[in-house]
Amino acid sequence: MTRPASGTTLQKLLSRFHFGITLFAVALSGLTILLAGITAMRGYADRNIELAAQLGAYGVEPALVFNDASAAREGLAPLVRIRGIAKLRVLDDRGQPLTEWISPSEDPAPLLTRAFFPKPYVVTIRRNGSAIGTIQVWGDSSTLIDYVRIGLLAGLACLIVTALGTIVMARRFEYELVKPLGEIATVAHDVRLHRRFDKRVQPLGIAELDRLGGDINALLDELQGWQGTMESERALLAHRASHDALTTLPNRAAFDEQLAQRIAAAERSGSRLALLFIDADNFKAANDRFGHAAGDAVLVALSSRIRETLRERDFAARIGGDEFVVLVDPVDLAVEPQTIADHLRTAVSQPVTLPGGELYRPTASVGVAVFPDQAGDAAALLTAADAAMYADKLSNRTRS
């Protein structure tokens, strides 16, 4: 009697082959999506830390000028509510700590934090071109851990579904398996390389792979939702980093950028622009007399009146406690820049009703400098306008 040749059957060989290839492809797809998601979320988290540091730098700048630790803590107050920040530290110009804040929440994944946030993000705070201190921001894993946990669970679910489905798929032709898996790999490829979180796995005609595609689509839905949330938060932080929180006017950083851009444009076109430097008179005395809430109301009123006097293409910003700047661009040849300054003084001097019901009539000193008549670059133009403002302030004191 002839004994059958020993060895495996073709059916078993194909079954093992299909099982191994399917398991590998799906695991690679799931890992690719997971890594792509972590990379994207880490990028958004890094950007949020950067914007938070810039926002904190603006908030603590006045405190560094006066070396006021209490004011520095107040300047950091908006940052302590942002998720993903573990520690904040403000250093003065000598590198000595002025104030520090540490999150009371426990880091959910210290290893993940050390891997993604090994060192703080540091922003040097400058005033009038000189460094007056630094702010350091440490991130933690709280914005990433939820994604990692869900991603691992979803990946595990995908692998379980695949393991069950390969028992049936092993008896099908290779083409029937390669084509749907190729579509899944294409989606994973687009997600990894192009951050196409809007891509979805289409129905494949195989129940197991359709369930797998559904799990991947669910994971992509979550990634797309997180991406939208992170973009919204990034836009909000970007707005806060470039705008004054009280008056909603652009801040010093936004002004510097606008001034450089508009001077470059004026040089190309041969046009003129005017810079008006506005400083509220006796604001500190009024603030001390009526209180900080009244002082804030005066600043908000001043910023509103400044905006109302400008044309749509002009630009206004708050660059200090009671200091504002205006870019009139371009300067109308028929209108003297000093006329614009007089108009601003008149608008600012209207009475303001304070929170306590008192009437307060603010006044302001205004200095004007014109590019390129009085200065040939941004720094010189700002210096000239500042000097003109102080001259106007001295003149006002002499008249009074």
* Residue 359 pLDDT class (50, 70, 90 cuts): confident
- Same domain for 233 and 212? yes
So what's the pLDDT on residue 11? 46
Mean pLDDT of the region 75-100: 85
- Same domain for 225 and 258? no
- The Cα–Cα gap between 88 and 314 comes to 37
Task: Please determine, for residue 9, whether its predicted confidence score (pLDDT) is greater than 50.
Answer: no
Q: Which residues fall within 8 angstroms of residue 87, CB to CB, at 6 or more apart?
A: 100, 101, 102, 103, 120, 136, 137, 138
* Residue 259 pLDDT class (50, 70, 90 cuts): very high
Q: Which residue has the higher pLDDT, 385 or 231?
A: 385
- Same domain for 218 and 84? yes
Closest CA to 147 of 295, 43, 256: 43
So what's the pLDDT on residue 19? 67
Closest CA to 206 of 177, 183, 182: 177
- The Cα–Cα gap between 119 and 113 comes to 10
2 lies in some domain: no
State both tokens at 187.
């989606």
H or E segment at 296?
Answer: helix 292-309
* Residue 167 pLDDT class (50, 70, 90 cuts): low
- Same domain for 209 and 260? no
- Same domain for 85 and 215? yes
So what's the pLDDT on residue 267? 92
Q: Which residue has the higher pLDDT, 270 or 47?
A: 270
Is pTM, for the whole model, over 0.75? no
Closest CA to 154 of 211, 103, 80: 211
1 lies in some domain: no
13 lies in some domain: yes
- Same domain for 383 and 238? no
- Same domain for 210 and 355? no
Active site residues: 322
So what's the pLDDT on residue 383? 94
- Same domain for 204 and 319? no
Q: Where a domain ends, among 186, 211, 242?
A: 242
H or E segment at 2?
Answer: none
Taking a C-beta distance cutoff of 8 angstroms, is the pair 11, 120 a contact?
Answer: no
50 lies in some domain: yes
Closest CA to 310 of 323, 285, 327, 291: 327
Mean pLDDT of the region 187-196: 74
- Same domain for 227 and 261? no
Mean pLDDT of the region 338-355: 87
Q: What is the mean pLDDT of the chain?
A: 80
Q: Calculate helix-pair angle for 69-80, 10-66, nearest 10 degrees.
A: 150
Residue 306 sits in a domain whose CATH number is 3.30.70.270
Domain total for the chain?
A: 2
- Same domain for 263 and 320? yes
343 lies in some domain: yes
So what's the pLDDT on residue 159? 66
Q: Where a domain ends, among 210, 242, 274?
A: 242
So what's the pLDDT on residue 139? 83
What is the extent of the structural domain holding 201?
A: 9-242
- Same domain for 45 and 146? yes
Length of the chain, please? Answer: 400
Amino acid identity of 218?
A: A
- Same domain for 218 and 318? no
Residue with tokens 């059958």: 4
